[in-house]
Structure 1
Amino acid sequence: MRVSHLRRAVIVGAVTGATVGMLAAPAWAHVEVSADNPQAGARDVTVTFDGEAESTRSGIVSERVILPAGIRPEDVRLAKAPPGWKLVPAADGYTVAGKALPVGENAVHSIVITHLPADATQLAFKTIETYGDGKVSRWIGVSAAGQPEPDNPAPVLKLKPAAQPAPTSAAPTSAAATPTQDSAPPTASADTSPTPTAAAGQDDGPPVGLWIALASVVVIAAAAVGLVMYRRRTGRMRT
């Protein structure tokens, strides 16, 4: 009896522990999201969604994605999707849809987002999957701080912090490169020195008065010589 009771207690404890563990474990999203550059503020980021096929009777025909705050429908373009599937924008996101996929095949599609929000740390993409038989799976639950994981969690993309701009330093200003009043190059100035004149330094030859005086001396000397010669001539004639 004691062994039987002990065995029963062990089994009950094991089942209870497993049940508690399952309840305590976080729920896993059945739509996974990833990105080639999961960084806040990044541009032209390719984001891929992998929607797990859960129905054993019908394939997935569409995935409706509600975009998080900071991303507009016009910032999204389709990069990859199952054959024949098209993207149709909506007011709050988009739907990518087409012919039903084979039963058990995941719905995988990629979009390119022009610009991720620069101040976000994570992005929740609420996704609604629709199957060919009308079944709808809503992966739209967003966990809150201090609260347990929702039963149908939305796929969440974790982001790295935005890249910081490289510090720049102002180029030193060169005094030679920027002329000032004190360093302005010398300019040609007018020559204010007096221009030489005839009286101040230009040699124009002897003055006119000097030439007149010399002429007078010559005339007087010639007259004196003539007078002397005349007297000698008249003296000889008398003798």
Structure 2
Amino acid sequence: MKSSRVSFAAALAAGSVLVLSGTAFAHVGVQPGEATKGGYTTINFKVPNERDNASTTQLEVNFPVDQPLSSVMPQDVPGWTVTVEKSKLDKPLTVHGKQVNEAVTKVTWTGGKIEPGKFQQFPLSVGKLPENADQMVFKSIQTYDNGEVVRWIEETKEGAAEPQNPAPVLKLTAAKGAGQHGTGATPDEAKNADKAAASGHDEAASEHSTDTTARALGIAGIVIGLGGVAFGFASRRRSA
């Protein structure tokens, strides 16, 4: 009897851990979780349905106003309608020599349905990412068809446990190299490196060609020499 009670308690505890783990990890998030500072990238907002008796019918993603992006382009998601809202900037941005006076502050997807036990991804192409920040926080709101609203807006504090409704976070990392060779070379240096590599390749090809020709001539000389020896030997036999 005691053994049965222990087994039942262990099973109950294990089940509780699984339930709590599912609740902790099944939240709106951004993938991939990191991108390069100052660059452009494609991110996906992954939205799981956490309810057994309701479907998700709307996702609202808010962009940080203190980290304006000059470009935010959504990809079509079948069955969903996307709305992009912009706001005027207090301080215009200069991107590729052009002045940008407004930036996206909110993107909302509606009209579709994420049923229980399923998830949906909502892609966005974004840039230019901040160069002087380590992360971007996208506070999001998930709405169900039963009227329930879940606000994924809590920011995780360093050294603290993850909050119950964490906001999606995109971590920003330093670029490994500005040049196309991944060594931090400038575009001109990269071009010079390409020219040097091409020149080295041509020289190597030339050397290979010269060496091949020399070998061919050497072999031909040997063949001719052997032919001459054979001819001389045959002549001697005739004269004898």
TM-score for the superposition, normalised by structure 1: 0.54
Matches of 1:55 and 1:24 in 2, distance apart?
15
Matches of 2:8 and 2:185 in 1, distance apart?
65
* Residues 171-182 of structure 1 mapped to structure 2, 5 A cutoff: none
Q: Is the 8 A contact 1:62 1:97 kept in 2?
A: yes
Pairing 1:97–2:105 present: no
Cα gap change, 1:16 to 1:80, in 2 (>3 Å): same
Pairing 1:130–2:126 present: no
Cα gap change, 1:146 to 1:84, in 2 (>3 Å): closer
Matches of 2:4 and 2:53 in 1, distance apart?
42
* Residues 51-66 of structure 1 mapped to structure 2, 5 A cutoff: 51-66=47-62
Cα gap change, 1:73 to 1:93, in 2 (>3 Å): farther
Matches of 2:126 and 2:60 in 1, distance apart?
16
- The structure whose residues are more often strand, as a share, is 2
Residue of structure 1 in register with 2:63 after alignment: 67
Q: Amino acid of the residue matched to residue 145 of structure 1? A: E
Q: Is the 8 A contact 1:100 1:131 kept in 2?
A: no
- The structure whose residues are more often helix, as a share, is 2
State the aligned residue count: 165
Pairing 1:151–2:164 present: yes
Higher Cα Rg, which structure: 1
Matches of 1:58 and 1:22 in 2, distance apart?
18
Per-residue deviation, residues 184-233 of structure 1 (Å, max 9, x unmatched): xxxxxxxxxxxxxxxxxxxxxxxxxxxxxxxxxxxxxxxxxxxxxxxxxx
Per-residue deviation, residues 49-92 of structure 1 (Å, max 9, x unmatched): 11112233443222111223654265322123333412231557
Gaps of 5+ in 2: 88-103, 179-183, 187-240
**Alpha-carbon RMSD:** 3.7
Q: Amino acid of the residue matched to residue 29 of structure 2? A: E
Matches of 1:21 and 1:9 in 2, distance apart?
19
Q: Is the 8 A contact 2:72 2:126 kept in 1?
A: yes
Pairing 1:49–2:61 present: no
* Residues 1-239 of structure 1 mapped to structure 2, 5 A cutoff: 27-35=24-32, 38-43=35-40, 45-68=41-64, 71-72=67-68, 75-89=71-85, 91=87, 93-101=105-113, 103-104=115-116, 105-165=118-178, 166=184
Offset of residue 27 of structure 1: 2.8
TM-score for the superposition, normalised by structure 2: 0.53
Gaps of 5+ in 1: 169-239
